[in-house]
């Protein structure tokens, strides 16, 4: 089970790295598109509506109808948002990209948390309080820390189009999450 926890933590690292990368490039987007702080706020609002409010709806739905493959589909939305951000010609397209990037965590988090709990082998208290869940959370926290660093090292020096390079990270996460989805589908009701 620790291999499943490691894989979901790895995916969580990639998911949150991409999310924080997008937030870290706001200054660049502000300069490139001559955006006001209000427009930056609208990008954040668009992202947060899809990342947070949609996540609530997805969680309610998947509690009754588990969807083992929603995490890789979510990362697929993030991938589409990344690629659109890398070529966005205007503010309107940035808003659409922000919405797509926000759909990623809304679909990833509910089922990924369930996988971490399932992989605890029935030791749900352990999953929530100690090692397994902590391993899962560490992946997300590490990713949140890496995103701004990678933005500073890669995106800022190479420009908006270099955001597309992170599609490789999203593709790796999709492959890993597809394997986790197979494991999840083979182990229902844990």
Q: Which of 7, 6, 2 is nearest to 181 (CA)?
A: 7
* Spatial separation of the C-alpha atoms in residues 189 and 130, rounded to whole Å: 22
> CA angle, corner 170, sides to 169 and 174, nearest 5?
120
Q: Which residues of the chain have pLDDT under 70?
A: 1, 120-135, 189-190
Q: How confident is the model at residue 8, as a pLDDT? A: 84
Q: How confident is the model at residue 143, as a pLDDT? A: 86
Q: How confident is the model at residue 91, as a pLDDT? A: 97
In eight-state DSSP terms, residue 51 is I
pLDDT digits (tens, 9 = 90+) for 132-174: 456 677 778 888 899 999 999 999 999 999 999 999 999 999 9
Q: How confident is the model at residue 1, as a pLDDT? A: 67
Task: Quickly count: other Cβ atoms within 10 Å of residue 63's Cβ.
Answer: 10
H helix or E strand, kind and range, residue 88: none
Q: How confident is the model at residue 128, as a pLDDT? A: 47
CA 62, 70, 110, 94 dihedral sign is negative
Task: Provide the whole-model pTM.
Answer: 0.88
pLDDT digits (tens, 9 = 90+) for 120-130: 666 655 444 54
Q: For residue 76, give Cα distances in angstroms to 80, 88, 109, 127, 134.
A: 6, 18, 14, 27, 25
Q: Please check whether residue 82 is in contact with residue 166, taking contact to mean a CB–CB distance below 8 angstroms.
A: yes
Q: How confident is the model at residue 4, as a pLDDT? A: 82
Q: How confident is the model at residue 77, as a pLDDT? A: 96
Instruction: List, in order of start, the domains of the chain with CATH numbers.
Output: 2-186 (1.20.1250.20)
Q: Is 37 helix (H, G, I), strand (E, B) or coil?
A: helix
Q: How confident is the model at residue 138, as a pLDDT? A: 76
In eight-state DSSP terms, residue 188 is -
């Amino acid at each position: 089970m620790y291999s499943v926890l490691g894989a979901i933590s790895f995916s969580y690292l990639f998911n949150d790295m991409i999310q924080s990368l997008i937030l870290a490039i706001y200054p660049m987007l502000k300069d490139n598109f001559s955006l006001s702080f209000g427009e930056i706020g609208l990008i954040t609002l668009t992202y947060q509506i899809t990342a947070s409010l949609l996540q609530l709806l997805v969680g309610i739905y998947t509690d009754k109808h588990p969807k083992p493959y929603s995490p890789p589909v979510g990362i697929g939305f993030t991938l589409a948002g990344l690629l659109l951000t890398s070529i966005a010609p205007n503010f309107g397209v940035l808003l659409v990209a922000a919405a797509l990037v926000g759909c990623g965590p809304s679909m990833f988090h509910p089922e990924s948390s369930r996988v971490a709990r399932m992989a605890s082998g029935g030791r749900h208290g352990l999953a929530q309080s100690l090692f397994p869940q902590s391993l899962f959370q560490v992946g997300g926290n590490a990713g949140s820390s890496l995103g701004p660093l990678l933005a500073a090292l890669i995106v800022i020096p190479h420009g908006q189009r270099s955001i597309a390079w992170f599609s490789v990270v999203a593709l790796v996460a999709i492959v890993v999450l597809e394997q986790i989805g197979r494991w999840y589908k083979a182990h229902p009701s844990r």
